[in-house]
Structure 1
Amino acid sequence: MLALLHTSPVHVPVFDALRDEAHPGLELRHLVAEDLLERARVDGPAAVACDVRAKVREAVDGGARAVLCTCSTIGGVAEAAAAEAGVPVLRVDRPMAAAAVAAGSRVVVLAALESTLRPTVALIEEEARRGGRSVGVTTVLVQGAWQCFEAGDPAGYVRRIAEAADAVTGAEVIVLAQASMAPAGRLATTPVPVLSSPRPGLAAAARLCRRGPGRAVPDREALRPGT
């Protein structure tokens, strides 16, 4: 069984649909803790580390063979819980970051939430070092997008992000930093590749789930593209 740690309930049907499409038979357990993101935005991800570890332990006690954290802001502290938990813990955006550095050296990160920018840039730079590549990363905070998300306007949220992607210049690859941004990749018309995290993140987590206990940061084989 694969446990998913979410900070918004909107992710539950998204990952259920991806499972049904690409990983039939994979048992998912969803843990939603909206307060973790709210607190991390104010005090930083480290401030919620103890509670994240508790959620990971809850997942393991419930039978999870691996845990996927779908929140980019707290993904780093979630992965750090793996050693104590004894099962692989993967942040959903790590496979996307690995794909981004493989796709080009000029990466533009789009985020709707400012607290996501720094962790995402750090992750891309980490993956570049792991892959022996040199990358330049620039960031764009999509103005007004998160307000649409909080107001329950998914169409406006996705439209603003797609427009921001289409306005990007000088990039070899565009990264959508938050899992909730994924639909914007289909709406954008830019010729630059636009990467999102849910599909490759779930695929990598499913492989880790099959493999069982392992490292906090998956090896390159676990992050390879595909289902």
Structure 2
Amino acid sequence: MKIAVIHTTPATIASLGDLIRSEIPNAEVFNLLDDSILPDMNGGYRVDWVRERWLEYAQIARKNGAQAILSACSTVGEFAQEANEMLDIPVYRIDEAMACEAVRRGGVICVFATLASTLEPTARLLKRLSQKQTQFCEIRTVLVEGAYDALMQGDRALHDEKIRRALAEQGAQANVIVLAQASMASAADGLPDEICAQVLTSPRLGIEKLRDDLAALDGEKR
């Protein structure tokens, strides 16, 4: 099984590759990285150009033999949905399984992100799923200032600490806490039990969905 992962930051390459190979032992993983996407999306002035090249990356992955594509970035998740409708192979967004679980739990869902460009796409996904499931959800958003800069400077410890501090300060009123970006998952380690039970991260849930869906497709072919 050849799986392409499209990244917008190098921070997700090793962790997602390891997780895919642990959950899908026969997977051959290859990565495409464009680290100019997030600056473009965060500025909000080159969104059409980002969409155009992301869809092209998906087509390149297909031509390179990918049997499935995973978008590792929540900010561009809606482009992954579009690619899924265009291509004859499945295209997954890393955060969809997390969002489904958040909506299933319902109540007040607080979305934390380290990039402003991620908040609205994640909130839109949650709203769409809540309407589809006719589940009441109140969606709130929190931007964790400075965490992404720390990560890009190689200081994951500071990145994680800023997120944990924000969770402690602003997550108390939430029924569900969503860490919107895959790169934020490490911040969930070591949280107090009462907070940890509320927190959802995308990597494991997203890869488990990928594994289960691909197994089902393989079963149908047989």
Range that drifts further, 171-180 or 150-159? 150-159
Matched, 1:185 2:183: no
Matched residue type, 2:71: C
Range that drifts further, 175-184 or 127-136? 127-136
Q: Percent identity?
A: 32
Residues in 2 aligned to 1:135 and 1:143: alpha-carbon distance in whole angstroms: 25
Q: Larger relative contact order (C-alpha < 8 A, sep ≥ 6)?
A: 1
2:199 equivalent in structure 1: 194
Query: In the TM superposition, what whole-angstrom CA distance separates every residue of 1:108-163 from its partner, at most 9, and x where no partner exists?
Result: 01011011100110011111112120100111111221221122111100111112
Query: In the TM superposition, what whole-angstrom CA distance separates every residue of 1:69-112 from its partner, at most 9, and x where no partner exists?
Result: 01111111122012222211111001100000112311001011
After TM superposition, the structure 1 = structure 2 runs for residues 1-227 of structure 1, keeping only pairs within 5 Å, are: 1-42=2-43, 43=45, 45-167=47-169, 168-189=171-192, 191-192=194-195, 193-211=198-216
Residues in 2 aligned to 1:184 and 1:205: alpha-carbon distance in whole angstroms: 23
Residues in 2 aligned to 1:113 and 1:69: alpha-carbon distance in whole angstroms: 17
Aligned residues: 213
The gaps in structure 2 that reach 5 residues or longer are none
CA separation of 1:197/1:6 partners in 2, compared to 1, >3 Å: closer, same or farther?
Answer: same
Query: In the TM superposition, what whole-angstrom CA distance separates every residue of 1:181-210 from its partner, at most 9, and x where no partner exists?
Result: 001112322614100001111121233344
Q: TM-score, normalised by structure 1?
A: 0.88
More helix by share: 2
The gaps in structure 1 that reach 5 residues or longer are 214-227
Residues in 2 aligned to 1:207 and 1:29: alpha-carbon distance in whole angstroms: 20
Q: TM-score, normalised by structure 2?
A: 0.90
Matched residue type, 2:187: A
Residues in 1 aligned to 2:47 and 2:190: alpha-carbon distance in whole angstroms: 31
Range that drifts further, 52-61 or 181-190? 181-190
Q: Cα RMSD over matched residues? A: 1.7
